[in-house]
Amino acid sequence: MNPQDFFDPLASEVLAVAPTRAHDLARLRVLAQRHAAPTVTVVGKYNHGKSRLLNELVGRDVFAVADRRQTVTLSEHHHAELRWLDAPGLDADVAEQDDGHAQQAIWLHADIRLFVHAAKEGELDAAERKLLQTLREDQLRTRRQTLFVLTQVDQMSDEEQLAKVSAAIEAQAHGLALHPVSATRHRNGVEGGKQLLLNKSGIPALQALLREVVQQVPAARQHEQAVLFADIGEQLQQQQAAAQAQWQALQQRQQQQRQQFEQGLQSVLESIHQDLLPIVELQGEDPALTPDTAADEFRLTAGKRERARIHVAYSRACIAIRAHLIQHGVEGLPADQRTSVASLDTVMVAVMGISVKYRADLRRRFCEPAGQAQLMQSFLHYYELSEDQQALQQALAQAQSEQQANTRALEALQRLRQGASA
């Protein structure tokens, strides 16, 4: 199987939950090509002699040299079992695209970076210092090495001037080793067969150093891979723990709220029950059941008084229940149950109906276990459908799917790691 066919689907599982790790994953993808030649690239401002340095190192004019901006994309050349990558210069005025290519060379492809600075420019400017600092920090983390090459030293008037520039740069970057070179001297030395000039060019010494550093590339790559996997893994573990805590907190809230709703409603129903007992426990004939005659129209009959009493008691019960529902955000009906009459679209109407109840209704609904259970069940049904509870359920589902995605990412990372060490 093509290694990328193995790598890419797994990497996208990781990327899905850790988008900020895109670069690390891209670098791991490069590192997954285990037998790829060690890659050497140049970094520095334009016109400092990067392309020409590479030409001298590989011994052929393969990279374009110019006084104006020449290298705009990456160009590569294979020589001496190394992959040489020439990159555009990094400058404040550089078009973003060139910069992107240079960044890719430095961060994505390079095993070894040659930081190029022309001696005649004197000290490092702010951008160079910052970049050099970043590269040195990266070297501590990934063991990818950066060699500082002071180029065009033939343009120094004498040794003293060179020493001054070197000292100034060393003062800017503590502990930095400088490798002075002159491409011109090297070329003249090669062409004229002058060994002394060749040696004085600094190129053979740099080549020898490079050979040493190249020897360390396989171990450095292994180290870098381990570091990247460990860092991504740690992030995923942290995310996993956070998602888990979030899910647990939501679930706890859901349980608590439901318990409060249920227990509260239970005690409301209980006190309604107590309130209604004197009314429903009437012995003997029920005057409320005696219908009025036409002659009773303007008279207060025992039947009317009793029905009013029942009605008031029922209203009290409804008010108590409604207060509880409002407190828990259970008021309106879910969207798919709404009618064209807004005042009817309440949970109270849906559960209780709108008709006035007789004594037997009151007893059945509020004073018998089956009726109470029925009320409890109906209100719990609408409780679950209330906006707050729906939102909570959604948040729970979201937290759960985050957890699942994270778990998949952790498994994918594990497989990538196994693939890397297989």
Ligand X SMILES: Nc1nc2c(ncn2[C@@H]2O[C@H](COP(=O)(O)OP(=O)(O)O)[C@@H](O)[C@H]2O)c(=O)[nH]1
Dist CA 142 CA 6 (whole Å): 24
Residue 235 binds ligand X (CB under 6 A) = no
Q: What is the DSSP letter of 85?
A: E
Nearer to ligand X, 52 or 417 (CB): 52
Quote the CA–CA distance of 90 and 11 in Å, as a whole number. 30
**Which CB sits closer to Mg ion, 182 or 386?**
182
47 binds Mg ion per the rule CB under 5 A: no
Is residue 41 close enough to count as binding ligand X by CB under 6 A?
A: no
Which of 383, 354, 351, 376 minimizes the C-alpha distance to 270? 376
Q: Among residues 83 and 322, whose Cβ is nearest to Mg ion?
A: 83
State how far the Cα of 80 lies from the Cα of 86, in Å rounded to an integer.
16
Which of 10, 135, 178, 183 touches ligand X by CB under 6 A? 183
Q: Which is nearer to ligand X, 47 or 239 (CB)?
A: 47
* Contact (CB, 8 A) for 51 and 75: no
C-beta neighbour count of 41 within 10 angstroms: 25
Q: Does 386 bind ligand X (CB under 6 A)?
A: no
Task: Name the binder of 308 from ligand X, Mg ion, none, CB < 5-8 A by kind.
Answer: none
Q: Measured at CB, which residue is nearest to Mg ion?
A: 51
Q: Which of 39, 41, 71, 235 binds Mg ion (CB under 5 A)?
A: 71
Q: How far is the CB of 62 from Mg ion (least distance, A)?
A: 12
Tell whether residue 202 is a contact of ligand X (CB under 6 A): no
Q: Minimum distance between the CB of residue 44 and ligand X, rounded to whole angstroms? A: 6
* H-run or E-run covering 196: helix 195-200
* Interface with ligand X, residue 359, by CB under 6 A: no
Three-class HEC string of 143-185: CCEEEEEEECHHHCCCHHHHHHHHHHHHHHCCCCCEEECCHHH
Q: How far is the CB of 74 from ligand X (least distance, A)?
A: 12
Closest-CA residue to 314 (of 348, 362, 376, 268): 362
Single residue of 28, 41, 57, 71 touching ligand X by CB under 6 A: 71
Residue 151 touches ligand X, criterion: CB under 6 A: yes
| 67 touches ligand X by CB under 6 A | yes
Residue from 39, 51, 235, 239 that binds ligand X (CB under 6 A)?
A: 51
Are the beta carbons of 257 and 392 closer than 8 angstroms? yes
Q: For residues 35 and 68, which CB has a smaller minimum distance to ligand X in the complex? A: 68
Radius of gyration of the chain, Cα coordinates, nearest whole angstrom: 41
By DSSP bridging, strand 178-180 and strand 145-151 are: parallel
Site of interaction with ligand X (CB under 6 A): 46-52, 65-67, 70-71, 89, 151-152, 154-155, 182-184
